[in-house]
A = this chain, B = another copy of it.
Amino acid sequence: MRKDVPKIVVARLPVYLRDLSQLRDEGKEVTSSQELGKRLGISPAQIRKDLSHFGEFGKQGTGYNVSYLIEQLRRILHADRNWKIILVGAGDLGHAMVHYTGFRKQGLHIIGVFDNDPQKIGQRWGELTVMDASTIEDFIQKENVRIVILAVPAKVAQQVADRLVNAGIRAILNYAPIVLHLPNGILVEYIDPVVHLQYMTYFLE
């Protein structure tokens, strides 16, 4: 049944998981599609429908067991495993990513940082040392890395992405402000704050 799940549904699951984790941190043991819906600004019916793609997680009238639903969502999203991630581009943004504590607790581990700037190669970033970009392919293959955070300038992003995919990368979180052209089956997600800001200024006077 997994194949039929619309992407937009899958995209909401991490948001559900994040909010459920917050509920658990607040000491809540049971919740409902009503409560979640109110917290997330999503209709309770939508939440129930989204979850129903993956099974039965609550009982009519008694709601969802928070810990159980967290566990199930983590399983569905493969967030119950440890994922090795490399970061390419050791600029300010990359620096922020490496020091962000929100990844590790989700099993997302940045295990390598790469740049081609001799000034940056060898820098100590927390537990990591910035490595020479020419060694990326070897690292990907040796460590069996599938996910990359791409934080390089737009003008080199396509070329770097091609190299990464050739070396075995399957998923790219792309911070470079361009659309990447990659073979079918390679996953790409985009983060560009300018796009979000311009979406909002459209609605501002």
Contact present for A194 and B18 (CB under 8 Å): yes
Give chain B nearest CB distance to A28 CB in angstroms.
15
A111 interface residue (CB < 8 Å to B): no
Chain A interface residue count, Cβ-Cβ cutoff 8 angstroms: 58
CB-defined contacts of A97 to chain B, threshold 8 Å: 193
Q: A13-B198, A194-B106 are in contact. Are A204 and B177 (CB under 8 A)?
A: no
Copies assembled: 2
List CB contacts (< 8 Å) of A177-205 with chain B: 177-179, 181, 187, 189, 191-204
Partner of A92, one of B18, B95, B200: B95
Interface string of A131-172 (1 = CB under 8 A from B): 000000000000000110100001000000000000000110
Give chain B nearest CB distance to A69 CB in angstroms.
15
Closest residue to A42 on the B side, CB-wise?
A: B179
Q: A97-B193, A147-B197, A199-B14 are in contact. Are A171 and B108 (CB under 8 A)?
A: no
Contact present for B171 and A204 (CB under 8 Å): yes
Contact present for B195 and A15 (CB under 8 Å): yes
Give chain B nearest CB distance to A189 CB in angstroms.
4
Partner of A198, one of B14, B96, B194: B14
Interface string of A67-83 (1 = CB under 8 A from B): 00000000011110101
Chain A to chain B contacts (Cβ below 8 Å), 11 pairs: A10-B199, A15-B195, A17-B198, A22-B154, A22-B178, A92-B95, A93-B100, A108-B194, A147-B204, A173-B200, A189-B196
Give residues in A with beta carbon < 8 Å to B. 10-11, 13-15, 17-19, 22, 39-41, 76-79, 81, 83, 85, 91-93, 95-97, 99-100, 102-103, 106, 108, 146-147, 149, 154, 170-171, 173, 177-179, 181, 187, 189, 191-204
